[in-house]
Structure 1
Amino acid sequence: MKRLAGRIILLWGWRRALVAFLAGALAVLGQAPYDFFAIGFVSFPILVWLLDGATVEPPTSFIKRAMPAFAIGWWFGFGYFVTGLWWVGSAMLVEAEAFAWALPLAVLALPAGLAIFFGLATSIARLFWSGNIGRIAALAFGFGLAEWLRATVLTGFPWNPVGYAAMPIPLLMQSVSVIGVTGMNALAVFVFAMPALLASNRTLKTGIAVALGLMILHVGFGVWSLTREAAAPESMLAVRIVQPSTAQNEKWDQNVRDRIFRTMLELSAQPTGEGIDKPQLIVWPETSVPFLFTDRPDALVAIGELLSPGQTLMAGAVRVEGAAGAGGEPRFYNSVVVINDAGEITDAVDKVHLVPFGEYLPFEDALARVGIKKIVQFPMTFSAGTERHPVTIANGVRALAFICYEIIFPNLAPRANNVADVIINVTNDAWFGNTPGPYQHFRQAQIRAVETGMPVVRAANTGISGYIDGKGRIIDALSINAAGVVDAIVAFTNAPGESILFRGHAGLLILVVLALLAGGMALRERLRVN
């Protein structure tokens, strides 16, 4: 191990960049759908050894001292995001004649931008570097902070956080309910990087003991959380999730929209199996209604005829709202509308967190002049909703709706503190086909369920649709590109939820402890040298 570490430390130039790139690319195997978490024990020790060799001759400026570490982190991140997000390019090929030119931007420019956060992580870590376990703590702190920034800066994009590699199954997801994603990101790197100490006898026993202790706590808490006796449910809700599997190139075709709508009605009207309750709530995916209700009032009549007394439909639809501004232009929203058994829209929740370049175009007028258009070619640009509120459905159940990738943001899904009982997630992943994208998106919904303690009902146009309980367990689901329904009984305790305050503070506390450990050991080492 010492010989391998030595060779990696002494790498230089393009060889150093290539090894960093490959280490990051391998780390993606820890994410869905591969879930080979053990790869973290390879990728992160390599990163540590690369950073061991990231030195410059003094005296030099702070920026010049930081650049070698930044470059290693950037190449690691570029490998991680290229191999983890290549499927985003599939969206450019749905209408290839219009957007094929943007394929390099999706496949290369997006990963290059996101890799800056990993470069920042390694730069921060190198400030507290030492020759012992302190550098492992420094790397964990750097990644914990950088991943928090990635979820926040420029609207945020926390896709495939490094901590998800430590949560491939429900048993290993439960810790996120205590320390949040920030804590999981930091501690996952701390444990994954610990084998780097095998190349040195310094603090090796301490490192092994700490890593084993954290893993035992992680697994033990998962076992306890999944096996403890659950509170008796105080109410039930029969839910039908509809997955129509509409091809993306047909979704807004005016010639087939009546067929698409008829398919939604037919799937919703299917009889339930023997012994299964008739659904009280039916959920359709994101923008599953292929026209504006204001243009087709007959569609609401058809929905009213579909629904039996007491049934409710939550459907993804484009919603238009009056005239806005001096020009009298209407505003359009990507929404979930609530429709009762009389065919009346009783409530609506608008998407708050829109996808840049997908649902709206930043600096639209200026970019349009040079021929750049948003990828999702609706006949309108969406406006962002101002707030997310729970909607009340059958049995007084309160549902909190998240549209598409809103579900990936931890801070958007607080645990029900007299706010909601269930999360409804509607999405359309047809843009990405049968690639890792839909599986990674579904994993995000699983983590939100565990993090919040609330069940998640997820309706996706082409999959993956399903019902996830509050422990992250998949109770039932439909596979990619399958057309059909999932009928599920969602149970609620109606107990007030726990505050996320402690979870937020726990993640912050972990970062502070890691920073103090890294800083303290680096300072002690430098004082000893001097």
Structure 2
Amino acid sequence: MERLANSVILSWGWKRALLAFVAGAIGALALPPLNVFAAMFVAFTLLVWLIDGAAGSPESGFFGRILPAFGIGWLFGFGYFVAGLWWLASPLLADPQFKWAVPLAVAGLPAFLAIFYGLAVALARLLWPDGIGRVAMLAVSFAVLEWLRSFVLTGFPWNAIGYTAMPIPIMMQPVRLIGVEGMTLLAVFVFAMPALLGTGKGARIGVTLAALLLAADFGYGYWAMQRFAARPGKSEISVRLVQPVTGLDEGDTDESRNAIFDKLLTLSKLPAEGGKKPDLIVWPETAIPFILTEKQEAFTRLADLLHDNQTLIAGTVRAEDAGPGSPRRYYNSAYVFDSEGQIVSAADKVHLVPFGEYMPFAGLLRSWGIDTIAALPGGYSAAVSPNLLTLPGGRQLYPLICYEAIFPDEIGPASARASALINLTNDIWFGRTPGAYQHFHQAQVTAVELGLPMIRSANSGISAIIAANGQIISGATIYTSGVVDSTFALKSVSSLNNSARGTNFWLLTVLIFLIAAFSRVSFIFR
């Protein structure tokens, strides 16, 4: 280990740059669907050794001293995000007019996201003590920069390092207490500890502490899994998830749109096991392939579909006339229909996908000929605030449309009134790539973090009922057209609110920072 560490620390030039890129790419193996948890130990061990050798010249000024560390962190992040997000080319390749943007998605976005990791490494290098202290400083820096990545420029926390530390439900449970940023903090702290074996300083206490944290993760996870296990209750409900697998090339004509609607109705009518009709039927994001209010006969067909005491929740596009002289507004929405086919509740998407659903700096970019990928002219408008979906009978669900499920910090206090989360998504854009698996995993973690079961309906998969402890009660495999029938309890469990999780995260961050600071003056951590 010492010989390997020295060769990495003393590496130079293109070999050093390639090693940093490869280390990040190795880390991406820990992401779904591979979930090679051990890959992160390799990635961060190499990163620590590379930072050890990234000292700038004292005479080169402040920026000159931190630039080598920033470069290592940026290359590490670039490798991680290219290997983890290459599938972003899939939605662009679906339409020939956007093929030019493939390099921007595959390399441009990772290059931008890698800046956060470059800054994290540069920040860590400013205070780079010996032994366990430098691992602690690296963990703090990554946690803070991942926290910034979750909201800067509307945020894109996809594939945060913390997710790689939660491949299975038993390892997800601490997220309930400290959030994904807190999991990132502890994950980097543990993942980087093997680096101490190569440099000798603080190895014994560091590896022992990492082992204790892993044991605590599994121990708390086992306890929480038992406590928050899905159990039958008074609020039990039977749900049917409809997974139609409607292709991107469908829905361009009135005939094809009618065929899609027919398919949704046919799947919804399939006989259930045991003969019991589901209480709730759920269609995915934008499942209804036309503006519903402009096709009144569709309401009649929905009324024919639904029996007494049955409810339908469906994703759709909602149109709103803004007034004379103003362009029409479109919203990515969810409707609740009662057994008579009437809309009794609705919610619009709040957090839109940049370039996919709306155009940032629209005027400037359109002058360059760059338009939104969204099918509708001008894209979508965003709701001002989230609105709970109210079912007949009074039970409420917290709607998360598409990738809103990866922003748990934006889920407001209204979630305390919800019996479950409901995630409607159309992951057909991802194709048969890791994107759909990554999206599902992050939604699964959100259910655990919020302490609420999740009803997830995806056009092409992965549709599932997820318990509040992260266990999958039932689900459908990707690209399988059909339905998922399940019965479970709409019951929330005790969970901390966002402010409490945030407080715990910052307290833990300060504690680990103190380890880094204390290691400069104490031989214990060296």
Give the shorter-chain TM-score range. Answer: over 0.9
Specify the alignment match of 1:440 in structure 2. Answer: 438
Secondary structure of the structure 2 residue equivalent to 1:104: helix
Distance 1:498 1:3 in 2: 46
| Match runs of 1:396-435 below 5 Å | 396-413=394-411, 418-435=416-433
- 1:504 deviates by 1.5
- 1:153 deviates by 0.3
Q: Which amino acid aligns with 1:236?
A: E
Query: What's the C-alpha RMSD, in Å, of the aligned pairs?
Result: 1.8
| Match runs of 1:193-212 below 5 Å | 193-212=192-211
- 1:229 deviates by 7.3
Unaligned runs of 5+ in 2: none
Q: Would you say the 8 A contact 2:451–2:492 is kept in 1?
A: no
Distance 2:360 2:491 in 1: 43
In structure 2, relative to structure 1, the CA distance for the partners of 1:140 and 1:366 (3 Å cut) is: same
> Within the alignment, does 1:514 sit opposite 2:512 as a pair?
yes
- 1:271 deviates by 1.3
Distance 2:218 2:349 in 1: 36
Distance 2:32 2:361 in 1: 34
Q: Over residues 360-395 of structure 1, what are the superposed CA-to-partner deviations in whole Å (9 max), with x where a residue is unaligned? A: 112223322322111122244210111112122144
Secondary structure of the structure 2 residue equivalent to 1:194: coil
Secondary structure of the structure 2 residue equivalent to 1:289: coil
Distance 1:8 1:253 in 2: 59
Q: Would you say the 8 A contact 1:424–1:456 is kept in 2?
A: yes
Q: Which amino acid aligns with 1:356?
A: P
In structure 2, relative to structure 1, the CA distance for the partners of 1:495 and 1:462 (3 Å cut) is: closer
Deviating more after overlay: 509-518 vs 119-128: 509-518
2:453 paired residue among 448, 452, 455? 455
Specify the alignment match of 2:140 in structure 1. Answer: 141
- 1:252 deviates by 4.0
Specify the alignment match of 2:286 in structure 1. Answer: 287
Distance 2:363 2:450 in 1: 40
In structure 2, relative to structure 1, the CA distance for the partners of 1:388 and 1:199 (3 Å cut) is: same
Q: Would you say the 8 A contact 1:237–1:395 is kept in 2?
A: no
Distance 2:72 2:12 in 1: 11
Q: What percent of counterpart residues are identical?
A: 48
2:366 paired residue among 365, 368, 377? 368
Secondary structure of the structure 2 residue equivalent to 1:282: strand
Deviating more after overlay: 83-92 vs 391-400: 391-400
Secondary structure of the structure 1 residue equivalent to 2:321: strand
Unaligned runs of 5+ in 1: none
Deviating more after overlay: 117-126 vs 231-240: 231-240
Specify the alignment match of 1:272 in structure 2. Answer: 272
| Match runs of 1:220-239 below 5 Å | 220-228=219-227, 233-239=233-239
- 1:304 deviates by 1.2
Q: Which amino acid aligns with 2:2?
A: K
Q: Would you say the 8 A contact 2:69–2:125 is kept in 1?
A: yes
- 1:496 deviates by 6.8
- 1:321 deviates by 1.6
Q: Which amino acid aligns with 1:283?
A: V
Q: Would you say the 8 A contact 2:66–2:122 is kept in 1?
A: yes
Specify the alignment match of 2:241 in structure 1. Answer: 241
Q: Would you say the 8 A contact 1:235–1:491 is kept in 2?
A: yes
Secondary structure of the structure 2 residue equivalent to 1:60: helix
Specify the alignment match of 2:81 in structure 1. Answer: 81
Specify the alignment match of 1:468 in structure 2. Answer: 466
Q: Would you say the 8 A contact 1:29–1:35 is kept in 2?
A: yes
- 1:151 deviates by 0.6
Q: Would you say the 8 A contact 1:399–1:422 is kept in 2?
A: yes
Secondary structure of the structure 2 residue equivalent to 1:184: helix
Deviating more after overlay: 372-381 vs 212-221: 372-381
- 1:522 deviates by 3.4
- 1:301 deviates by 1.5
Specify the alignment match of 2:184 in structure 1. Answer: 185
> Within the alignment, does 1:24 sit opposite 2:24 as a pair?
yes
Distance 1:522 1:63 in 2: 23
Specify the alignment match of 2:52 in structure 1. Answer: 52
Distance 1:504 1:371 in 2: 42
Q: How many residues in Structure 1 have an aligned counterpart in Structure 2? A: 523
Q: Which amino acid aligns with 1:63?
A: F
Secondary structure of the structure 1 residue equivalent to 2:157: coil
Specify the alignment match of 1:306 in structure 2. Answer: 305
Specify the alignment match of 1:501 in structure 2. Answer: 499
Q: Would you say the 8 A contact 1:128–1:522 is kept in 2?
A: no
Distance 1:204 1:212 in 2: 12
Deviating more after overlay: 487-496 vs 120-129: 487-496
1:485 paired residue among 470, 483, 486? 483
Deviating more after overlay: 82-91 vs 7-16: 7-16
- 1:511 deviates by 1.2
Distance 1:207 1:46 in 2: 16
Q: Which amino acid aligns with 1:403?
A: I
In structure 2, relative to structure 1, the CA distance for the partners of 1:492 and 1:347 (3 Å cut) is: closer
- 1:57 deviates by 2.0
- 1:471 deviates by 0.7
In structure 2, relative to structure 1, the CA distance for the partners of 1:229 and 1:331 (3 Å cut) is: closer
Secondary structure of the structure 2 residue equivalent to 1:352: coil
Q: Would you say the 8 A contact 1:239–1:282 is kept in 2?
A: yes
